[in-house]
Structure 1
Amino acid sequence: MHPAKLSLLPDQSSATPPIHADRRGAERQVAMLRLAKIKSGEREGWALVKNLSISGMMLVVHPEFRLERHVTVLLSEDKPLMGEVRWRQQSSVGIHFPKPVDVEGILSGASEKKNRLIWRAPRIQMRHPIVLHTGSKKVAAYICDISPTGLCVETHEHFEQGRKLTLTVPNLDELVGYVRWQTGARTGISLESRLPIDELMCWLSIHYEAQMTGKADKRRKSHQVLTAPAADAAACPDAYHVVGYDDLGRAIPVAVLESAKLALTCVAACARLFDRVAITNSSGVEWPLIVVMQHRTEELVRER
């Protein structure tokens, strides 16, 4: 039996519960199932708004997506709702607003925009390596933003409109998409199949955790000078930097991980995406694979 998966996609067949006429005033809640963007610190993701009142809201957020104390929720890009996380139970999150909000204005504005334009899920801004395959050619690129139905990538490679591409992203399944537009170094790609939001949220969680680990490692190492690989081999580092190399020898950062186990797993997962994958320290000095395997053995001993 497979474990139940959290789904953040609104069920269009579900009817919105009726709002009783006597539920007025400050405590009146509007029940809904509406997808929104959520920002917390440097993280961006999606949440499902379950109910909204003038004093707060209840959200469904992937349990692995970390939230800080203060968050911003966007039902539409022009009307951010800022609040404080008051409680969290697995995927359910309670948000309190510092001052009352205009619920009717927020919902009517979002509905008008949805009716006026073709609605699409909010896009998440980020920078993440990706490899585009066109025929036998591999093209290194970076994701600029992503949604369940498409993404924008940064690459200097030219593609004609309608070109079919195979996309490989570390920690995501292989994707298929079509070029819709290209402006300068940016290319818009629509996906052949919609990505489940819960899967994307799990992937975003890994991306942000690796990003935070890398920044913390740089701060710790900024005052140190590492002279040679032999000096590092004596002890396990604070972080392992996984780097992929394309067919032109260009380095593409993949992830910054805190254990040898995660680093070796990431290398195995990325091996088919690049011509070569390496593990380096924070100064860019490459670790011999045998040394990383020794570090993994030491981790196993400590775990016991």
Structure 2
Amino acid sequence: MGKLLSRHGETLCRIRNLSNGGLMAEVHMPLVDDDAVQIELKAGDRLSGRVRWTHERRMGIAFDEPVEVDMLLARATVRTAEQGMVRAPRFVVDCPVELRADGRRHPGRLVNVSQGGARLETDFLPEPDQLLTLAIPGLPERKGGVRWASDGAIGLSFVEPLAFDELGMWLAEKHCQS
């Protein structure tokens, strides 16, 4: 998975194959031939290129400069080991949400979201590891465990990740400001 950035904004992409000259990816954003794009990989590397073809939700991207695939993958492995986990691409949003805990409802704002979790702003201060239910307009409710909470913000890790199509279509339909 990666984050695709273009003149249309940013969206989730699923990289299907990768070579030194380009890649094939699935996206939910309408792009056309010759659109300039950047792909941000989970480990933080950014690859720049242009769309060379599109078919349904798939596209081919030719890189501006060749990449060393072996080095790119090795660097990702080292960074993943250093971080202790792979972080899914995060998408900045501004969206009203509702949190539910212990039968009570708490308003909040979604600040960023990924397939695996979310950052929220709220006056509610839950306990670490507390299980909450998050209601985001346009998405099915998600249960998540509190990973951290401080200064009016909460980090949630979803019990069940958002599916690629679920998050990708939600971002493309712009249910909230991004």
Aligned to 2:13: 47
* 2:111 is equivalent to residue 144 of structure 1: yes
Counterpart contact for 2:43–2:80, Cα < 8 Å: no
1:84 paired residue among 20, 25, 50: 50
2:77 corresponds to: 111
| Aligned counterpart for 1:98 among listed residues 55, 64, 75 | 64
The equivalent position to 2:120 in structure 1, one of 142, 145, 153, is 153
Residue pair 2:116, 2:157 contacting (<8 A) in 1 also: yes
Q: Which residue of 2 aligns with 1:17?
A: none
TM-score, length-normalised on structure 2? 0.86
Q: Which runs of 5+ in 2 are unaligned?
A: none
Quick check: 1:38–1:74 contact (8 Å CA) kept in 2?
A: yes
CA distance in 2: counterparts of 1:67 and 1:211, whole angstroms? 20
Per-residue CA shift, 1:220-241, capped at 9, x if unaligned?
xxxxxxxxxxxxxxxxxxxxxx
Q: In the aligned structure 1, how far is the partner of 2:149 from the partner of 2:177?
A: 28
Q: For 1:174 and 1:211, locate their aligned partners in 2 and report how far apart those are by CA, in whole Å.
A: 19
Say if 1:165 and 1:178, in contact at 8 Å, map to a contact too.
yes
CA RMSD, Structure 1 to Structure 2 (Å): 2.2
Matched, 1:74 2:74: no
What is the TM-score with the length of structure 1 in the denominator?
0.53
**Does 2:142 match 1:166?**
no
**Does structure 1 retain, via aligned residues, the 8 Å contact 2:94–2:112?**
yes
SS at match of 1:109: helix
Please tell me whether the aligned partners of residues 93 and 177 of structure 2 are also in contact (alpha carbons under 8 angstroms).
no
Amino acid aligned to 1:121 = A
Corresponding residue to 1:190 among 146, 157, 173: 157
Q: Which has the bigger relative contact order, CA under 8 A and spacing at least 6? A: 2
Post-superposition CA distance 1:6-49 (Å, at most 9, x none) = xxxxxxxxxxxxxxxxxxxxxxxxxxxxx222222363222222
In the TM superposition, 1:227-238 aligns within 5 A as none
Q: Tell me the secondary structure at the aligned position of residue 160 of structure 1.
A: coil
Query: Structure 2: which amino acid aligns with 1:109?
Result: R
- 1: CA distance between counterparts of 2:9 and 2:96? 17
SS of equivalent residue, structure 2 residue 174? helix
Once the 2 structures are TM-superposed, how far is the Cα of residue 152 of structure 1 from its aligned partner? Answer: 0.9
Match of 2:17, SS state, is strand
Identical positions, percent: 32
Distance 1:73 1:48 in 2: 10
Amino acid aligned to 1:100:
P
Q: Is the 8 A contact 1:126 1:144 kept in 2?
A: yes
1: CA distance, partners of 2:106 / 2:7: 32
Per-residue CA deviations over 1:144-198 (Å, capped at 9, x if unaligned) read 1212221111112221212222211111112212212112121011222222111
Partner of 1:120: 87
Q: Which runs of 4+ in 1 moved over 6 A?
A: none
- What are the Cα deviations for residues 70-111 of structure 1, in whole angstroms up to 9, with x where unaligned? 211122453200111111101210111222223232122112
- Judge conservation of contact 1:50–1:58 (CA < 8 Å) in 2: yes
In structure 2, C-alpha distance between the alignment counterparts of 1:99 and 1:46, rounded to whole Å: 22
Task: Give the match for residue 274 of structure 1.
Answer: none
Residues of 1 paired with 2:30 and 2:177: CA distance? 13
Q: What secondary structure does 1:198 align onto?
A: helix
Higher fraction of strand: 2
Q: When you count helix as a share of all residues, which structure comes out higher?
A: 1
